[in-house]
Structure 1
Amino acid sequence: MTKLDFRKADKALYTPPSDQWQRVDVPAMVYLSITGQGDPNGPGFAAALGALYPVAYGLKFARKPDGDFTVSPLAALWWADDPAAFATGERAAWRWRAMLRVPGDADDAAVEDIRKTVLAKQAGKTGGADPALIAAVTLTRLAEGDCLQRLHLGPFADEAPVLADLHDNVMPRLGLTFAGPHHEIYLSDPRRTAPEKLRTILRQPVKPA
């Protein structure tokens, strides 16, 4: 049986150009997700990922006999009550939803079974994921539709001028405005990749202004 690999099945969504914004129609997708707030370099974000990945791999192995899939690159939605928090670097105010894409037929009952299995395996172990965070992992159905995206090469800190150009020039020129939170897809593992070699998809849902 062929293993589902989202990067191959939806290649156009994972291979945008790095020199210009590409307009794409993003279909509805299903993710395992967990939400939080604060600096992505802080312990809260890392702890959330420590709960998200065991559930994702638990779902993968549970489905393996009938429909295996490759765990997707980490993605995240970013927003703030005051959008200026991103320009000023007030990371404590940043809100995020970390996400891992899963097959579209995944359902809440299956995730609940996996959650119970993960909690049982970690019971009594030291250094495992916080049970409260595992309980906070849920299925999210996201339908972004019309989007602009491009590949960013380099450190996360260098995204600011690229996004400013999108917001101040590209979107107004196309007569578009925001239709959802900023979306990033991390094609590189920052723990193992030099900052200058990071590859990140920047995606912005849009609608007519």
Structure 2
Amino acid sequence: MKHEWRKKEKGVYIPKNTPEIIEIPQYNFLTVEGEGNPNSEFFSEFIGVLYAVSYAIKMGLKKGTAPEGYFDYTVYPLEGVWDINEEAKKTYNGSINKDDLVFKLMIRQPDFVDDELAKRMIDQTRKKKPHVLLEKVKFEKITEGKCIQMMHLGSYDNEPESFKVMEEFANKEHLYRLSKVHREIYLSDFRKVPAEKLKTVLRFKVVSK
């Protein structure tokens, strides 16, 4: 039976539009890092290479020899961890120039995917669909730990409103936000869905005060 993250992992990927505390364990990811304005044309190239390798893994395993623990699954959603560059941090005053953004985009992979399999599929994708960014794609195991998350409804530009609510919630729970670095999980395709209808999971790491 196919593993569908929207049904099987609602707690991780389909939170309510109010803040909640969650513990995120170690997961496998394909990642690629970059810098600059996500509204620029180049940004879609980063997304494209991640999906190309992710589908190469999914479809390649359905046709070929499956590893131990294999199960059919729905490809996980795109995620992004966002920060600003070091120069921007020196003059940070609460507002952000999108040209100063630094990002790590990623797509989670099932537990049976390992570094060897990922590298093999990256090489395979490079031969079929050559792209310079494939040189930057990595396989990583990432643990977030204790976080606060909520569903943000609407434009990405309005995310500060949700972060304010999340930070107020953290304070009430005697938790401290580790940094302004945060994670976004994209449940909507911004190329097809109007900005006011976008659904994005927002998440940041916290520790006890």
**Structures share fold, TM-score greater than 0.5:** yes
Structure 1 residues 83 and 71: CA distance shift in structure 2, 3 A: farther
SS at match of 1:143: strand
Matches within 5 A, 1:57-72: 57-64=55-62, 66=66, 67-72=71-76
Q: Which residue of 2 aligns with 1:97?
A: 104
| Distance apart, 1:194 and its partner CA | 0.9
Indicate which of 72, 80, 83 corresponds to 1:79: 83
Q: Which residue of 2 aligns with 1:38?
A: 36
> Take 1:29 and 1:59, find their aligned partners in 2: how far apart are those partners?
16
Q: Which runs of 5+ in 2 are unaligned?
A: none
Q: Percent identity?
A: 29
Q: Which residue of 2 aligns with 1:26?
A: 24
Q: Which residue of 2 aligns with 1:177?
A: 176
Q: Which runs of 4+ in 1 moved over 6 A?
A: none
| Distance apart, 1:33 and its partner CA | 0.9
| Distance apart, 1:136 and its partner CA | 1.0
Note if 1:203 corresponds to 2:203. Answer: yes
> Take 2:90 and 2:110, find their aligned partners in 1: how far apart are those partners?
32
> Take 1:84 and 1:162, find their aligned partners in 2: how far apart are those partners?
24
Q: Which residue of 2 aligns with 1:166?
A: 166
> Take 2:5 and 2:92, find their aligned partners in 1: how far apart are those partners?
33
Q: How many residues align?
A: 199
TM-score, length basis structure 2: 0.87
| Distance apart, 1:83 and its partner CA | 8.9
Structure 1 residues 135 and 22: CA distance shift in structure 2, 3 A: same
SS at match of 1:100: strand
Q: Which residue of 1 aligns with 2:53?
A: 55
TM-score, length basis structure 1: 0.87
Matches within 5 A, 1:135-150: 135-150=135-150
- Is the deviation greater in 154-163 or in 170-179? 170-179
SS at match of 1:95: strand
Q: Which runs of 5+ in 1 are unaligned?
A: 124-129
| Distance apart, 1:84 and its partner CA | 7.0
> Take 1:151 and 1:86, find their aligned partners in 2: how far apart are those partners?
26
Structure 1 residues 149 and 56: CA distance shift in structure 2, 3 A: same
The answer to whether the Cα contact below 8 Å between 1:85 and 1:94 also exists between their aligned partners in 2 is no
- RMSD, matched Cα: 2.0
| Distance apart, 1:37 and its partner CA | 0.8
| Distance apart, 1:202 and its partner CA | 0.8
| Distance apart, 1:85 and its partner CA | 5.2
| Distance apart, 1:118 and its partner CA | 1.0
